[in-house]
Structure 1
Amino acid sequence: MNAKAAPLSLPEIDVEEFRKVVRSRRSVRRFTDEPIPDAVLEDCLELATLAPNSSNLQPWEFFVVRTPELRGKLAQACLGQNAATTAPVLIAIVARPDTWRKHARLALENWPKEEKLPSIVEKYYKKIAPIHYNQGPLGLLGVAKKTAGLVVGLSRPVPRGPYSVNEMKVWATKSTALAAENLMLALRAHGYDSCPMEGFDECRVRKLLNLPRKGLVTMVLAAGRRAENGVYNRQYRFDQETLIHYL
């Protein structure tokens, strides 16, 4: 979408402060029992929802668990990891590949009142998105779109997918992972830490939190104040020449 946005007044940025946030973020395995203040947690969650995402459809939900009894059960569903059992807050970060239709409507309803809705934006959410993201009964519409894309793609660039329910899951998870990273950096900026956990029993997590049937638990995030023994080893990364390619 090429809607013309109003010019924004950009704030001054201190890159060294950002560098400190990124470099000091670690996957913390043990936390103190100090609670995260409500205002801090709410601010971090708001910053998480400002993450870039596909078509601004925001295909995510956050389930914040602070009550000791439920948190204890969730920690066990996370295989009893130290991060899960010691954190004062656990957050199930859930991708929603099934909310695109509702969120397309919300995108129009929540358009800033002081700005005129561009016709191209209205067309996208009302006409294009319902075709692009809809896979149809038994995925047949997705198959038809993939076939058409293969043919048209012979002569010009075209979007390649999502063409199936599984590709919609990948689509939603990519945006949700961006929001999770925002959340982790926001916590670090406030002086708190986190540990993203993929080791959990998803069936038990779903049942404990009564999650939406089509929601995908991207990760369970442990959050709190870092304990002195919370980081197990020095951070290291592979040589950049292995991973970064300049063409």
Structure 2
Amino acid sequence: MAETIFNSVPKHNYSELEPNINPDEFRKVVQSRRSVRIFNGTPIPESIMNECLDIALLAPNSSNLQPWEFYWVRSLEKKNELIKACLSQPAANTAAELIVCVARTDTWKQNAKKMLEVFDKNKGNIPNSVIDYYKKLVPLAYTQGYFSILGTLKRPILFLRGLKTPTPRNPVSNNDMILWATKTCSLAAENLMLALRAFSFDSCPMEGFDAKIIERILELPSDAHVVMVIAAGKRAPNGIYGSRIRFERELFIKEV
């Protein structure tokens, strides 16, 4: 079944028109995105903030299971607590808005169910292999059990299978699930930062924070993991600490 799902093209009648994109404008957005450490106090209109968050949710993600949450901290009391949890660094202290990007390792269950509900409304248009994927393979891949017992049992099975055929080896532990959800959440966070820049606002992704305090402030469940806090606003004249530094291209781009 796995081979059929992964390497066959399902029959469908869906298509989308490809819009024309101005690459120069996109290049301008990406090149002008900087980590801004000091903001000038200009508020971000609520409508723009909401649109940027909606754009964030359009990011690619594993099997459309969307294991992310974005906490737009609007309460002044919680915002002040969050600033302290972010070590009172200037980016947090001067930001017009603070958004906590959270990876979730357990919401795949409810979101897989939601996918099946969507398919049920489109009876006759969804290949059986796709429905089987969400009913069978998704639970098989992502269920780890208490203390990763099931993941531990899957590990040797996947190893043996991989001796003969290409086989996805992960996730087989709760740590693997955290990595899985964090990758997806990070993609959405980048969407958010680029969206802010497209609307002429700036951002700073912060990793310097006390995650335990943030979990308490936001009353996060046990499967929630704080990936980053994004400070957003309008850059101050001294908000960028220096010119962009990137090392030699050949260190990172490999042609094989």
Task: Give TM-score, length-normalised by structure 2.
Answer: 0.93
CA distance change for structure 1 residues 85 and 112 in 2, over 3 Å: closer, same or farther? farther
Number of the residue aligned with 1:168: 177
Equivalent position amino acid for 2:211 in 1: E
In the other structure, the counterpart of 2:129 is 120
Q: Residues 51-102 of structure 1: CA distance to partner in whole angstroms, max 9, x if unpaired? A: 1111110000000012333212111110010000000110000000111111
1:14 maps to a residue whose letter is N
**Which amino acid in structure 1 is aligned with residue 164 of structure 2?**
S
SS of the equivalent of 1:142 reads: helix
CA gap of 1:185–1:111, structure 2 versus 1, over 3 A, is farther
* Letter aligned with residue 176 of structure 1: C
After TM superposition, the structure 1 stretch with the greater mean CA deviation from structure 2, 235-244 or 204-213, is: 204-213
For 2:241, the equivalent position in structure 1 comes to: 232
Of 104-113 and 227-236, the range deviating more from structure 2 = 104-113
1:26 and 2:56 correspond: no
Q: What count of residue pairs does the alignment treat as equivalent? A: 247
Q: 1:129 to 1:158 in 2, by over 3 A?
A: same
CA distance in 2: counterparts of 1:201 and 1:20, whole angstroms: 34
Residue of 197, 201, 209 corresponding to 1:200: 209
Deviates more, 1:112-121 or 1:198-207: 112-121
User: Is residue 241 of structure 1 aligned with residue 250 of structure 2?
Assistant: yes
Task: Provide the alpha-carbon RMSD of the alignment.
Answer: 1.5
TM-score (norm 1): 0.96
Aligned equivalents of 2:116 and 2:239: distance in 1?
45
- How far apart are 1:214 and its partner, in Å? 1.5
Select the residue among 147, 153, 159 that pairs with 2:162: 153
| In 2, Cα distance between equivalents of 1:122 and 1:190 | 39
| Residue 185 (structure 1) aligned with residue 210 (structure 2) | no
What stretches of structure 1 of length at least 5 have no aligned partner? Answer: none
CA positional deviation for 1:139: 1.7
SS in 2 for 1:126: helix
Contact 1:135/1:142, CA 8 A, preserved across alignment? yes
Contact 1:61 1:94 in 2 (8 A): yes
State yes or no: 1:46 paired with 2:37.
no
Q: Of residues 77, 97, 108 in structure 2, which corresponds to 1:100?
A: 108
Within 1, Cα distance between the matches of 2:172 and 2:244? Answer: 39
Percent identity reads 50
